[in-house]
Chains A and B, each alone.
Chain A
Amino acid sequence: MFDFLDVDWWSLALPFAYISVLAGMLYTFSNIYRKRKASQLANLEPWFPPHLQRQVYSSLLEIAHSDAGEKKTKVPDSVIRAALLRRAVEDIGRIIQVRQAKQALNVLLQRGSVGEDLNQRFQRAEKEIEEELREVVMEANALVPGWGNTIFQSANEMAANAMVRERLDEIQAQTETEKEWWEKRRETIRQDFEKELNDEGQPKVDAKAVISDDDGVLVDSATATPSKKKKGKK
């Protein structure tokens, strides 16, 4: 019995070993390969920076829930509503960015000017923003029934309005420098004009003054032949 098993075992050992090594290699290979791929995907740089407004909103909700029973200041609902609105405004900005990027990206992809990983990052961003919108609408409806229908309308106007005001402020901020520039410029124009007038009106006096100021040695000859000197000076 023992002899029989022992022999059989040994003769089968080689094929078994072969199979197990093969299977092991395949397993490790696929494992490593998949892990690498996953980590590559996960390590793709996100399209957008972290969503600060969303963090604030979630943190406020967290504080509201944990504090509710015990102590001090309750977070008022109005603050949470404001935080959600801020979050919706940020989302609008992101949607606009995604829409703008989409066309350009498609063209670039067709030409092969950008890599596949950029495309993957983008698609992930698109999915994320869709999820985010749904979530915000749900949260809004939970806070105030029916708010989900209008929150993005309001947020849209808020984003656009903020942009208009920013541009207008930029333009209006130039007023002071423009004014200063013009004051100076007008002054120089006026001086030039006066000089011209003086030159035409009383050339002799002007010439004397200029020369005697500039150069003491020349004064004598200058008084003798003022008009000539003036020409020389100019």
Chain B
Amino acid sequence: MAQPADDIIEILPLDIDPQTKAIGAPGLSSNKALQAELAALNSLHRTLLTLETPSQIPPPPIPVNPKRSAQIGKLKDSGNDCYRKGKYAEAVKFYGLGIDMALKRPLWEPQQLVREEVAALFANRAQAHMGLTSWAEGAVDAEASVEAKRVGNAKAWWRRGRCLVEMGRLEEAREWVGRGLEMEGEEADLKALLAEVDTKLAQAKSS
């Protein structure tokens, strides 16, 4: 009685492609959820098939395959070099490649690692965008960096705040920097930025 629905499981009319081994449900093409699920299943199946583990099951999250980490590190270093030489556009490209590479990590690898890598890369790309004075992109990237890593990421908080100020969105900047201060504690740069925003707001009101 506890689980009446459990005993009967509906058998779905699934179909398997002999060549690609892809699962489909041609009879239920109107069932969007099922179709989406099958697409996800097939793509997971393909990634599982590329695994080198003996039984082709995902390995435990730790230890991580070092190959990809090394590649991401390399892309980040190239980006940093370009940034230092003032080639901001190229730096943006390298950081972008690094971000793609980090986000394409197999899903079963530790998310904490992905967050760390992506947070650093997004923060750096935001800075490179700021070097190009493309404030809008910089603001978005810095926000993404904060989303990936909320605490201990004062630089990214500051960068989005700066970009918002440059675009003249003072109210928004004040709210953002205020939130940043809540997360980061007393951070000198953020405080200075907040003071700047406040004086600008006061000016805007008085004029």
User: Interface on A for B, CB 8 Å cutoff?
Assistant: 38, 41-42, 46, 50, 52-56, 58-60, 62-63, 72-73, 75-76, 78-79, 81-83, 85-86, 124, 127-128, 131, 144, 147, 150-151, 153-155, 157-158, 160-162, 164-165, 167-168, 171-172, 174-175, 178-179, 181-182, 185, 189
Contacts and interface: CB of A to CB of B under 8 A. Distances in A.
Contacts, number: 143
A85 B140 contact: no
A127 B5 CA distance: 13
Contact of A153 (B18, B60, B144): B60
Contacts of A78: 21, 45, 48-49, 56
Contacts of A52: 33-34, 37
Contacts of A155: 108
Interface string B26-67: 000000011001101100110011000001111111000000
A179 B138 CA distance: 10
B182 interface: no
A58 B136 contact: no
Given A168-B103, A168-B144, A81 B136 contact: no
17 contacts: A55-B10, A59-B14, A60-B14, A60-B23, A63-B16, A76-B21, A78-B21, A78-B49, A79-B41, A82-B44, A127-B2, A157-B111, A164-B114, A167-B147, A182-B135, A185-B167, A185-B168
A181 to B, nearest CB: 7
A178 B2 contact: no
A63 B14 contact: yes
A171 B144 contact: yes
Given A81-B56, A86-B37, A131-B3, 16 more contacts: A46-B5, A55-B12, A58-B11, A79-B16, A79-B21, A82-B48, A86-B41, A124-B2, A161-B105, A162-B107, A168-B118, A171-B143, A172-B144, A175-B137, A178-B137, A178-B140
For chain A, what secondary structure do more than half of its interface residues adopt (helix, strand, loop), or is it mixed?
helix
Given A59-B12, A76-B21, A82-B48, A164 B2 contact: no
Interface in B61-93: 61
A94 to B, nearest CB: 14
> What 4 pairs across the A-B complex have the smallest Cβ distances?
A182-B136, A82-B45, A160-B111, A154-B108
Given A42-B1, A178-B136, A168 B147 contact: yes
Contacts of A179: 134, 136-137
A53 B10 CA distance: 12
A217 B34 CA distance: 72
A50 B5 CA distance: 9
Contact of B109 (A56, A86, A157): A157
Contacts of B103: 165, 168
